[in-house]
């Protein structure tokens, strides 16, 4: 059975993820098929815009399908994961730089690889069921698929909070954080898609858009900025532990659960990108340096085992929260010479 459906519908190219039972998790072949469609439509005069959506009620895309990557990595085959990531990141870059509008309809779980798929499109629609998150630090990895770019751009210190805690954003939060653009009630999506296919123009989005739901994260922005203001992992933990607010205590629980090496590396990645980066290729290159090394020098295999394979939720991280040497972080982020990501 196909995992992804690509076709032309009226004046639109149309890509639909068709793995609802797997929460539309992105496989390697899905990435390649989506890229092939984008390449074919880039200069096709019959295609005025692209629609990106997914089947099922539970998820637009809950992340990358990393089970095979884990199995290969256990056997010492790290090249499989490196090739997968390189191809996925190339697709992410093409989405961000595509010469025609891409309208992504994001519902349900939009996590990890799902953010990389929908989060870089020119027109990002969320509905009321949207739950957006970057949960990579919980599996011993770092926010990737260009997610570090979106996190760095988020207001104040919100990106650090999202990365270190995997906090889920509803539609209002996603728009506030810069992970989405407009809110359209999901009951109106099919009619909106029909208008887009019929006209090939994005003006229908303006007509369908409704006021975004309230954003709890926007309301808590000043508190988040203060809690994560130190910019380093030890300072963040101290600040969280020193606050009795509900937000801080929930965040502290997550920070103490996730990979210390991954979190420290993520904070350094965001610092290197700066507060308003505009170069997705630089973000992807930095992410790929970590991905290239993560199975051998990081906590990825242990994190995937604990969260997704054995599901004991009891990972044994390589380093304690208060003992991440800066040299370990620098080693993960060091240039790769001839192995640098080629886009």
Does residue 186 have an active-site annotation?
no
Among residues 13, 73, 81, 113, the one annotated as catalytic is 113
Is-catalytic flag, 232? no
Q: Concatenated DSSP letters for 80-101?
A: HHHHHHHHHHHHHHHHHT-SS-
Question: Are 237 and 48 a contacting pair, CB within 8 Å?
Answer: no
Query: Of 304, 294, 302, whose CA–CA distance to 331 is shortest?
Result: 294
Active-site residue identified among 136, 268, 287, 299? 136
Given 144, 173, 268, 299, the catalytic residue: 144
User: How far apart (Å, rounded) are the C-alpha atoms in residues 173 and 218?
Assistant: 7
To the query of whether residue 119 is one of the catalytic residues in this protein, the response is: no
Query: Could you give the CA distance from residue 227 to residue 96 in angstroms, rounded to a whole number?
Result: 31
Q: Which of 64, 147, 159, 303 is catalytic?
A: 64
Length of the chain, in residues: 343
Helix H or strand E encompassing 13: strand 12-17
CB atoms within 10 A of CB 316: 9
Coil, strand, or helix at residue 186? helix
Q: Which of 139, 167, 135, 134 is nearest to 149 (CA)?
A: 134
The CA distance from 24 to 22, in Å, is 5
Q: How many CA atoms lie within 13 A of 329 on its CB side?
A: 21
How far apart, in whole angstroms, are the C-alpha atoms of residue 223 and residue 231? 14
**Bridge partners, 53 (sequence order):** 16
Q: Is 63 a catalytic residue?
A: no
Query: CA triplet 308, 149, 330: central angle to 5 degrees?
Result: 75
Residue 148 structure tokens: 């570090």
Catalogue the active-site residues. 64, 113, 136, 144
């Amino acid at each position: 059975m196909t995992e992804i459906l690509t076709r032309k519908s009226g004046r639109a190219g149309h890509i639909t993820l068709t793995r609802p039972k797997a929460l539309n998790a992105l496989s390697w072949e899905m990435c390649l098929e989506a890229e092939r469609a984008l390449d074919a439509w880039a200069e096709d005069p019959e295609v005025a815009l692209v629609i990106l959506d997914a089947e099922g009620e539970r998820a637009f895309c809950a992340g990358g399908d990393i089970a095979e990557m884990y199995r290969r990595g256990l056997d010492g085959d790290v090249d499989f994961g490196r090739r997968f990531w390189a191809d996925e990141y190339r697709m992410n870059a093409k989405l961000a730089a595509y010469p025609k509008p891409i309208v992504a309809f994001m519902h349900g779980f939009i996590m990890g690889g799902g953010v990389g798929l929908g989060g870089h499109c020119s027109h990002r629609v969320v509905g009321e069921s949207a739950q957006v998150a970057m949960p990579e630090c919980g599996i011993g990895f770092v926010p990737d698929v260009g997610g570090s770019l979106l996190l760095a751009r988020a207001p104040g210190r919100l990106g650090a909070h999202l990365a270190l805690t995997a906090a889920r954003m509803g539609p209002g939060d996603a728009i506030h954080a810069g992970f989405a653009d407009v809110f359209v009630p999901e009951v109106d999506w099919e009619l909106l898609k029909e208008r887009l296919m019929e006209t090939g123009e994005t003006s229908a989005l303006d007509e369908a858009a409704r006021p975004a739901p309230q954003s709890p994260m926007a309301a808590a922005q000043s508190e988040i900025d203060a809690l994560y203001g130190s910019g380093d992992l030890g300072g963040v933990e101290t600040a969280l532990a020193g606050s009795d607010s509900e937000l801080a205590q929930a965040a502290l629980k997550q920070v103490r659960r996730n990979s210390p090496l991954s979190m420290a590396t993520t904070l350094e990645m965001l610092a290197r990108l700066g507060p308003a980066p505009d170069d997705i290729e630089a973000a992807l290159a930095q992410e790929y340096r970590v991905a290239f090394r993560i199975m051998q020098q990081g906590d990825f295999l242990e994190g995937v085992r604990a969260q997704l394979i054995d599901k004991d939720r009891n990972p044994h991280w390589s380093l304690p929260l208060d003992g991440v040497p800066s040299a370990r972080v620098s080693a993960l982020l060091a240039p790769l010479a001839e192995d640098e990501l080629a886009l």
